[in-house]
Every structure is written in C-alpha cells, then in structure tokens.
C-alpha cells in the first residue's frame, strides 16, 4: 500500500490545547504528590514530553518498549517486553502514557504486568482512543480525543515507522 495523502484531523494547536487541559486535570488529581510517567515507546514519546511539561506535580520519567502478540492465540493476547523500565515502580503513583488504544490488547496485558509490581496507584492516559475497535476492556482514566476507526499518523504515530514527526494528527489515504 502507498500513501496518497494525509488529511489533517487534529491540528497542532488543537492537540496542544487538549494536552494542556489533560495536564491541568492530572495535576489537580495528583494533589501535589510525585508522579511517575511511563512512556510507551515509540509512539507516545511526543505526547509524553508535552504532557510532562503541563503537569505541575514533580514528575519522574521512565520508558518501556513492548510488542503485542497473540491476536489469534487468545482473546487478550500477550506482550513481549523489548525494553523494561529502568527503575522500580513499587509504592509510586504511576501514569501510563499511550499514543492510541485500538483493540486494547497491549494495554490490557501491560496493566496486568505493572500491577504485579505493586505501584501505589496505576492510571492510564491515552492521546487517542478508537472505541469502535475495542476487543478487550481497558479502564482508561484520561483520553485526549476519541477518533473514528481510521488509520492515523503524526504526533508519534507511525505508518511503517514513518510520519511520527508530523506535528499534527492526520488520517491516511492510501492507494492500492
């Protein structure tokens, strides 16, 4: 498949404005306690950086890289950890930061795995949510935007590892 066109769905200004709102809400929910942000590489890198700047609580950053498997092998699938966190999350307030929730499989597995490490609290924030595509239930605490079931790129999201650097979020138009 070749990309014919990328149609802007959310402008840089719209995304930035929403991230400021999320940052304010998360800051108020933290009550000044430190917060450990977990960035799921690579897609949520841009979102995590911008969100972290809008949170007023003391923020710690850690990074994790996973790949999802198992769409055909079980209903919830499984994840392989490619890069684990550098530090322990035991006793910490943790916010998992994701670019997009699609089927929900990745997040479902990841939340299960992180809960076993005994954080004080574990919440989930996603920039984008495609609720129509959900296969596995995931409790999401903060959602930037709900979008329809169409493939998007930009602001960290890729098509074949490209277009992550677009400052906006766009729908991909392909030609066969």
Least separation, in Å, of the C-beta of 122 and ligand IMP?
A: 17
Q: Which does 27 bind (CB under 5 to 8 A by kind): ligand IMP, Mg ion, none?
A: none
Q: DSSP E strands: which ranges in 43-92?
A: 59-69, 78-83
Catalytic residue among 102, 112, 132, 149: 102
Name which of residues 82 to 141 contact ligand IMP (CB under 6 A). Answer: 99-106
Angle (nearest 5°) at CA 170 between 18 and 97: 45
Q: Is 157 in the site for ligand IMP (CB under 6 A)?
A: yes
Interacting residue with Mg ion among 23, 43, 119, 170 (CB under 5 A): 43
Beta-bridge mates of residue 174: 3
Report helix, strand or coil for 47: helix
Active site residue 102: yes
Least separation, in Å, of the C-beta of 121 and Mg ion?
A: 23
Interface size with ligand IMP, residues (CB under 6 A): 14
Write the Ramachandran bin of 112: left for phi over 0, alpha for psi from -120 to 50, otherwise beta: alpha
The distance of Cα 77 from the centroid of its chain, to the nearest Å, equals 18
Rounded Cα–Cα distance for residues 171 and 149 (Å): 10
Contacts with ligand IMP, 16-45, as mask; x by CB under 6 A:
---------------------------x--
Note the residues at the interface with ligand IMP (CB under 6 A).
Answer: 43, 68, 99-106, 151-152, 157-158
């Amino acid at each position: 498949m070749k990309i014919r066109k990328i149609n802007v769905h959310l402008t840089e200004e719209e995304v930035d404005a929403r991230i400021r709102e999320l940052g304010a809400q998360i800051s108020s929910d933290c009550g000044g306690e430190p917060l450990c942000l977990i960035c799921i590489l690579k897609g949520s890198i841009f979102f995590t950086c911008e969100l972290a700047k809008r949170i007023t609580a003391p923020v710690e950053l850690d990074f994790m890289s996973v790949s999802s498997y198992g769409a055909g092998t079980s209903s919830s699938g499984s994840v392989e950890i490619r890069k684990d966190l550098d530090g322990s999350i035991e006793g910490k307030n943790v916010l998992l930061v994701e670019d997009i929730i699609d089927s929900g499989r990745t997040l479902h597995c990841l939340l299960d795995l992180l809960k076993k490490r005994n954080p004080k609290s574990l919440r989930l924030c996603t920039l984008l949510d495609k609720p129509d595509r959900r296969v596995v239930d995931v409790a999401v605490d903060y959602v930037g935007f709900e979008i329809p079931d169409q493939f998007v790129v930009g602001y960290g999201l890729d098509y074949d590892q490209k277009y992550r650097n677009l400052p906006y979020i766009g729908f991909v138009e392909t030609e066969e």
